[in-house]
Amino acid sequence: AQSVTQLDSHVSVSEGTPVLLRCNYSSSYSPSLFWYVQHPNKGLQLLLKYTSAATLVKGINGFEAEFKKSETSFHLTKPSAHMSDAAEYFCVVSDPWPGTASKLTFGTGTRLQVTL
Amino acid sequence: DTGVSQDPRHKITKRGQNVTFRCDPISEHNRLYWYRQTLGQGPEFLTYFQNEAQLEKSRLLSDRFSAERPKGSFSTLEIQRTEQGDSAMYLCASSGETNRGGGNTIYFGEGSWLTVV
Protein backbone atom coordinates (compact mmCIF):
# COMPACT_ATOMS: atom_id res chain seq x y z
CA ALA A 1 0.00 0.00 0.00
CA GLN A 2 1.15 3.48 -0.78
CA SER A 3 1.52 6.01 1.99
CA VAL A 4 3.04 9.35 2.84
CA THR A 5 4.45 10.59 6.12
CA GLN A 6 4.60 14.26 6.91
CA LEU A 7 7.35 14.63 9.42
CA ASP A 8 6.14 17.82 11.09
CA SER A 9 2.61 18.50 12.23
CA HIS A 10 3.37 22.18 12.77
CA VAL A 11 6.00 24.51 11.31
CA SER A 12 6.46 28.14 12.28
CA VAL A 13 8.58 30.59 10.26
CA SER A 14 9.06 34.32 10.16
CA GLU A 15 7.86 36.24 7.15
CA GLY A 16 10.61 36.47 4.57
CA THR A 17 12.46 33.35 5.73
CA PRO A 18 12.59 30.02 3.90
CA VAL A 19 9.93 27.35 4.25
CA LEU A 20 10.63 23.60 4.39
CA LEU A 21 7.81 21.11 4.79
CA ARG A 22 8.99 17.52 4.86
CA CYS A 23 7.34 14.49 3.31
CA ASN A 24 8.50 10.91 2.89
CA TYR A 25 6.62 8.41 0.77
CA SER A 26 6.29 4.66 0.53
CA SER A 27 5.31 3.13 -2.79
CA SER A 28 5.82 -0.08 -4.72
CA TYR A 29 5.91 1.85 -7.97
CA SER A 30 7.33 5.10 -9.20
CA PRO A 31 4.69 7.23 -7.58
CA SER A 32 2.78 10.32 -8.55
CA LEU A 33 3.14 12.84 -5.76
CA PHE A 34 1.33 16.06 -5.03
CA TRP A 35 1.23 18.89 -2.56
CA TYR A 36 -2.13 20.44 -1.79
CA VAL A 37 -2.81 23.50 0.38
CA GLN A 38 -5.92 24.12 2.42
CA HIS A 39 -6.72 27.54 3.84
CA PRO A 40 -9.11 27.72 6.81
CA ASN A 41 -12.63 26.61 5.95
CA LYS A 42 -11.65 26.18 2.32
CA GLY A 43 -11.23 23.27 -0.04
CA LEU A 44 -7.96 21.88 -1.30
CA GLN A 45 -5.86 23.67 -3.90
CA LEU A 46 -3.19 21.90 -5.90
CA LEU A 47 0.25 23.48 -5.39
CA LEU A 48 2.30 21.18 -7.57
CA LYS A 49 2.62 17.61 -8.82
CA TYR A 50 5.36 15.16 -9.71
CA THR A 51 4.60 12.61 -12.42
CA SER A 52 7.97 11.04 -13.33
CA ALA A 53 9.22 13.92 -15.45
CA ALA A 54 11.64 16.49 -13.97
CA THR A 55 12.55 15.73 -10.37
CA LEU A 56 12.42 19.41 -9.40
CA VAL A 57 8.85 20.54 -9.69
CA LYS A 58 7.79 24.17 -9.61
CA GLY A 59 4.32 25.07 -8.43
CA ILE A 60 2.20 28.08 -7.78
CA ASN A 61 2.97 30.94 -5.41
CA GLY A 62 6.73 30.32 -5.51
CA PHE A 63 6.62 26.80 -4.05
CA GLU A 64 8.70 23.95 -5.39
CA ALA A 65 9.42 20.37 -4.44
CA GLU A 66 12.17 17.92 -5.27
CA PHE A 67 11.56 14.21 -5.80
CA LYS A 68 14.45 12.19 -4.36
CA LYS A 69 14.02 8.50 -5.01
CA SER A 70 17.08 7.48 -3.00
CA GLU A 71 15.65 9.21 0.06
CA THR A 72 11.98 8.50 -0.76
CA SER A 73 11.31 12.15 -0.08
CA PHE A 74 9.27 14.92 -1.66
CA HIS A 75 9.91 17.98 0.48
CA LEU A 76 8.14 21.27 -0.22
CA THR A 77 10.15 24.50 -0.14
CA LYS A 78 9.74 28.21 -0.70
CA PRO A 79 12.59 30.72 -0.51
CA SER A 80 10.65 33.43 1.30
CA ALA A 81 7.47 32.97 3.32
CA HIS A 82 4.56 35.35 3.06
CA MET A 83 1.80 35.86 5.57
CA SER A 84 -0.70 34.52 3.04
CA ASP A 85 1.14 31.17 3.04
CA ALA A 86 -0.23 30.33 6.48
CA ALA A 87 -2.38 27.24 5.90
CA GLU A 88 -2.48 23.45 6.15
CA TYR A 89 -0.33 21.60 3.63
CA PHE A 90 -0.90 18.01 2.58
CA CYS A 91 1.54 15.68 0.87
CA VAL A 92 -0.34 13.20 -1.29
CA VAL A 93 0.50 10.04 -3.23
CA SER A 94 -1.53 8.62 -6.09
CA ASP A 95 -1.76 5.29 -7.85
CA PRO A 96 0.30 5.90 -11.02
CA TRP A 97 -1.08 3.26 -13.35
CA PRO A 98 -3.52 4.23 -16.09
CA GLY A 99 -6.97 2.76 -16.09
CA THR A 100 -7.30 2.56 -12.35
CA ALA A 101 -8.91 4.92 -9.93
CA SER A 102 -6.64 7.80 -9.05
CA LYS A 103 -7.16 7.27 -5.40
CA LEU A 104 -5.24 9.84 -3.43
CA THR A 105 -3.71 8.96 -0.09
CA PHE A 106 -3.15 12.01 2.06
CA GLY A 107 -0.63 12.65 4.77
CA THR A 108 -1.82 13.97 8.09
CA GLY A 109 -0.94 17.53 7.17
CA THR A 110 1.50 20.21 8.28
CA ARG A 111 0.16 23.46 9.62
CA LEU A 112 2.36 26.35 8.51
CA GLN A 113 2.36 29.41 10.72
CA VAL A 114 3.98 32.62 9.44
CA THR A 115 4.87 35.30 11.95
CA LEU A 116 5.90 38.91 11.51
CA ASP B 1 -14.95 26.54 -16.12
CA THR B 2 -16.35 27.26 -12.68
CA GLY B 3 -14.54 24.51 -10.82
CA VAL B 4 -16.09 21.85 -8.62
CA SER B 5 -19.21 23.10 -6.85
CA GLN B 6 -20.71 21.65 -3.71
CA ASP B 7 -24.02 22.35 -2.03
CA PRO B 8 -24.84 23.04 0.72
CA ARG B 9 -21.62 24.42 2.13
CA HIS B 10 -22.80 23.94 5.69
CA LYS B 11 -25.44 21.68 7.19
CA ILE B 12 -26.46 21.24 10.80
CA THR B 13 -28.75 18.33 11.45
CA LYS B 14 -30.12 16.40 14.37
CA ARG B 15 -28.93 12.90 15.01
CA GLY B 16 -31.05 10.38 13.16
CA GLN B 17 -31.98 12.69 10.30
CA ASN B 18 -31.00 12.12 6.69
CA VAL B 19 -28.84 14.57 4.77
CA THR B 20 -27.91 14.85 1.13
CA PHE B 21 -24.99 16.69 -0.45
CA ARG B 22 -24.68 17.58 -4.10
CA CYS B 23 -21.55 17.91 -6.20
CA ASP B 24 -21.22 19.41 -9.67
CA PRO B 25 -17.84 18.47 -11.14
CA ILE B 26 -15.82 20.40 -13.68
CA SER B 27 -17.59 20.01 -17.00
CA GLU B 28 -16.30 17.13 -19.15
CA HIS B 29 -14.56 15.49 -16.21
CA ASN B 30 -15.64 11.87 -16.28
CA ARG B 31 -14.21 10.91 -12.88
CA LEU B 32 -15.76 12.04 -9.65
CA TYR B 33 -14.61 11.34 -6.11
CA TRP B 34 -15.93 11.80 -2.60
CA TYR B 35 -13.62 12.25 0.37
CA ARG B 36 -14.28 12.86 4.05
CA GLN B 37 -12.13 15.05 6.27
CA THR B 38 -12.42 15.22 10.03
CA LEU B 39 -10.83 17.92 12.16
CA GLY B 40 -7.06 17.69 12.28
CA GLN B 41 -6.85 14.92 9.72
CA GLY B 42 -6.18 14.60 6.04
CA PRO B 43 -9.01 13.70 3.68
CA GLU B 44 -9.93 10.02 3.40
CA PHE B 45 -11.24 8.42 0.23
CA LEU B 46 -14.88 7.36 0.26
CA THR B 47 -15.92 6.48 -3.27
CA TYR B 48 -15.22 7.01 -6.95
CA PHE B 49 -17.29 7.22 -10.12
CA GLN B 50 -16.25 6.94 -13.71
CA ASN B 51 -19.12 8.42 -15.65
CA GLU B 52 -22.23 6.98 -13.98
CA ALA B 53 -20.56 3.81 -12.71
CA GLN B 54 -19.48 3.62 -9.08
CA LEU B 55 -16.23 1.69 -9.40
CA GLU B 56 -14.77 1.76 -5.95
CA LYS B 57 -16.00 2.21 -2.40
CA SER B 58 -14.02 2.52 0.80
CA ARG B 59 -14.82 0.43 3.83
CA LEU B 60 -15.47 3.79 5.48
CA LEU B 61 -18.65 3.99 3.44
CA SER B 62 -21.09 2.16 5.71
CA ASP B 63 -24.52 1.05 4.56
CA ARG B 64 -25.94 4.35 5.83
CA PHE B 65 -24.05 6.12 3.09
CA SER B 66 -25.07 6.05 -0.55
CA ALA B 67 -23.66 7.92 -3.49
CA GLU B 68 -25.09 8.25 -6.97
CA ARG B 69 -24.17 9.82 -10.24
CA PRO B 70 -27.21 9.01 -12.35
CA LYS B 71 -26.33 10.77 -15.59
CA GLY B 72 -22.59 10.86 -15.27
CA SER B 73 -22.61 14.55 -14.42
CA PHE B 74 -23.54 15.73 -10.91
CA SER B 75 -23.38 13.41 -7.93
CA THR B 76 -25.20 13.13 -4.62
CA LEU B 77 -24.00 11.72 -1.32
CA GLU B 78 -26.74 10.77 1.11
CA ILE B 79 -26.24 9.89 4.74
CA GLN B 80 -29.15 8.18 6.43
CA ARG B 81 -29.78 8.11 10.18
CA THR B 82 -26.91 10.48 10.85
CA GLU B 83 -24.69 9.93 13.88
CA GLN B 84 -22.46 12.40 15.68
CA GLY B 85 -19.45 10.59 14.27
CA ASP B 86 -20.56 11.62 10.79
CA SER B 87 -19.67 15.23 11.57
CA ALA B 88 -16.97 16.12 9.06
CA MET B 89 -16.30 17.96 5.86
CA TYR B 90 -17.34 16.05 2.78
CA LEU B 91 -15.18 16.92 -0.19
CA CYS B 92 -16.01 16.26 -3.80
CA ALA B 93 -13.37 16.18 -6.53
CA SER B 94 -13.21 15.51 -10.23
CA SER B 95 -10.65 14.68 -12.89
CA GLY B 96 -10.32 13.81 -16.55
CA GLU B 97 -8.76 10.68 -18.08
CA THR B 98 -5.57 9.33 -16.59
CA ASN B 99 -2.52 9.73 -18.80
CA ARG B 100 -0.04 6.89 -19.05
CA GLY B 101 3.05 7.46 -16.98
CA GLY B 102 1.56 9.72 -14.37
CA GLY B 103 -1.40 10.67 -12.27
CA ASN B 104 -4.06 12.96 -13.59
CA THR B 105 -4.83 16.10 -11.66
CA ILE B 106 -7.72 15.94 -9.23
CA TYR B 107 -9.53 19.18 -8.51
CA PHE B 108 -11.42 19.61 -5.25
CA GLY B 109 -14.48 21.60 -4.33
CA GLU B 110 -14.66 23.69 -1.19
CA GLY B 111 -16.44 20.99 0.73
CA SER B 112 -19.71 20.56 2.59
CA TRP B 113 -19.46 20.84 6.35
CA LEU B 114 -21.77 18.54 8.28
CA THR B 115 -22.46 18.98 11.98
CA VAL B 116 -24.65 16.39 13.66
CA VAL B 117 -26.06 17.53 16.99
What's A13's DSSP letter? E
Kindly list the residues from chain B whose CB atom is less than 8 angstroms away from the CB atom of residue A101. Answer: 31, 48, 50, 55-56
pLDDT tens sequence across A4-30:
999 999 999 999 999 999 999 998 777
Residue B105, burial from CB neighbour count under 10 angstroms (0-12, 13-18, 19+): middle
pLDDT at B5: 95
pLDDT at B103: 47
- B62 to chain A, minimum CA–CA distance in Å? 19
Give the residue-averaged pLDDT of A34-49: 90
B86 vs B16: CA distance, rounded Å:
11
How many percent of chain B have pLDDT more than 70?
Answer: 91
Which region holds residue B16: left if phi is over 0, alpha if psi is between -120 and 50, else beta? Answer: left
pLDDT at A99: 54
Are B8 and B28 in contact, with CB atoms under 8 Å apart? no
Asked if the Cβ–Cβ distance from B107 to A96 is below 8 Å, we say: no
Query: A94 in contact with B at a CB cutoff of 8 Å?
Result: yes
pLDDT tens sequence across A100-111:
556 788 999 999
Average pLDDT of chain A is 90
Query: A98 in contact with B at a CB cutoff of 8 Å?
Result: yes
Are A26 and A9 in contact, with CB atoms under 8 Å apart? no
Residue B106, burial from CB neighbour count under 10 angstroms (0-12, 13-18, 19+): buried
pLDDT tens sequence across B18-40:
999 999 999 888 899 999 999 88
- pLDDT tops 50 at residue B6: yes
pLDDT tens sequence across B50-97:
899 998 888 888 899 999 999 889 999 999 999 999 999 999 999 886
pLDDT at A51: 80
List the single best residue of B26, B32, B104 to mutate versus A (max A Cβ within 10 A).
B104
Percent helix, strand and coil across chain B, each to the nearest 5:
5, 50, 50
B60 vs B72: CA distance, rounded Å:
23
A73 vs A4: CA distance, rounded Å:
9
CB neighbour list of residue B62: distance below 8 Å, 6 or more residues apart: none
Give the residue-averaged pLDDT of B45-51: 91
